[in-house]
Amino acid sequence: MSKKIYDDEIYDGADNDDYAEQYRRQLERYNRLSQSSEYEEDDYDDFDEDIDEGQYAPPPVREPQPRRDNERKAPAKSKKKKQSAYKKHDSEDIKQNFGAHKKQKKKKMNPIKKFFVIILVLALIVFVILQVLIWKYIGDVKKVETGQRNYTSGSMESDDVLNILLVGSDTRSLEERGRTDSIILLSIDKKNKKTIMTSFMRDTYVTFPGLDRDGDGADDMGKINAANVYGGVELLLDTIEYNFDISVDKYFYVDFFSFAKIVDAVGGIELDISDEEAAGMEDPMGEQNNIFGNKKGTDYLDHGGKDMHLNGNQALAYARLRYVGNADFERTQRQRTVISKIIEKAKTLNPIELNGFIETTLGSLTTNYTSNELYFLSYGLPFIAKYDIEQQRIPEDEGYTYGDHDVGSTLDIDFDRAKETLRKSIYG
């Protein structure tokens, strides 16, 4: 049976860190068991000296000895300790490196990229706010369905031109079907980036297509401003298409008294007023003050002047003024002037003022546009507002004669000439 070379007793009394003493004892035991004379007592002293000098001699090479079954597995124990230390070291490394991949994701964003991300987020916020406002404004407009149309065959039309009829009346609402004292065709030319306002004289003698009130089998005739009385705005649309051969399907209606609120919402307008016009405005303003509940004489002008600031009540009286100057011819000019001034003034408003103006204006309108149609139309308004505005009147000078019919004094016009004027001015 082979002798036991390693014995735990040699470690008794030795400090775990005193490797020199442990080694010396182990070497002594080895020499004794091997009965070798190679190691003497002096050698131990030499070894001690070497130890004192901080030098360690390697153990002699020896043949592996068979291990007894009951022998303790010291090397395995040592291996286990090393393995535990290794695991401890790995554990510390894992703790230090844990989440390192997350730290890599938190790298600072490139300033340029960050700038564009911020711009994109702000643009998205503005877009959402804009959508909310648009639908809110659309909800303010009174929308009605288009009634029965008898004639929709006007040949003058184009995808580049949008024709909208602006209808103004002395009545308080569309349901009253009063006479339309303001009939303006607003033609928006997207190709040439211009807007043409065409006024139709209220005394123009026309044919009302599909209207036979006397039962004689023929279409009735009368002044164009009576079309709304006989058949609503739908008959007015038919009348314009039939007599002037121009296609128009959509309209906006406003009564004159709501018109005064619109002028006030824009902060009033500046107009050149003659002394004669200032005096003539008292008659329509007296009627308006009675309807508005104002004190008699409110807003009267005692003189004219250039760039006079007019409020809604005064601007309405100016637009309705008929018996100063060239009667209704100048009246239509005044109406177009007031509308142009409102548009120009609206462009100068700050966001808060503009919001109030839009709410007042849209709340005063009645239209046959649907909500979806108004939504898509709204996206073009910022561009349309920049278009140049041109004005004209039907009939034009020398395009009419004075007539006398059962409906009173009329303007009998040259329709062929009027059609050609519309074709050239609107469709080029």
What is the helix (H) or strand (E) element at residue 286, kind and residue range? helix 282-292
Burial 360-372 (b: 16+ CB within 10 A, else e): bbbbbbbbbbeee
Q: What is the pTM of this model?
A: 0.71
For residues 374 and 144, what is the distance between their CA atoms, to the nearest angstrom? 13
* Contact (CB, 8 A) for 177 and 170: no
Q: What's the pLDDT score for residue 318?
A: 95
Q: What's the pLDDT score for residue 97?
A: 55
pLDDT by residue (tens digit) across 83-121?
444 455 555 555 555 555 555 556 677 888 888 889 999
- Bridge partners, 192 (sequence order): none
- Looking at domain 142-427, its CATH class is alpha beta
- Spatial CA neighbour of 299 closest among 280, 313, 278: 313
Kindly tell me the sign of the dihedral angle through the C-alpha atoms of 403, 169, 144, 191.
positive
Q: What's the pLDDT score for residue 51?
A: 45
Q: What's the pLDDT score for residue 17?
A: 56
Beta pairing class for 366-367 and 400-405:
unpaired
Q: What's the pLDDT score for residue 21?
A: 73
* Contact (CB, 8 A) for 395 and 154: no
Give residue limits of the domains in the chain. 8-72, 77-107, 112-140, 142-427
**Average pLDDT along the chain, 428 residues, taken 10 residues at a time:** 50 58 73 57 44 49 53 48 50 54 63 88 92 93 94 95 93 75 95 96 96 93 95 96 97 90 96 95 93 93 95 95 83 93 94 94 95 94 92 94 94 97 95
**What percent helix, strand, coil does the chain show, rounded to 5?**
50, 20, 35
Please give the share of the chain, as a percent, with pLDDT higher than 90.
62
Q: CA triplet 40, 44, 50: central angle to 5 degrees?
A: 135
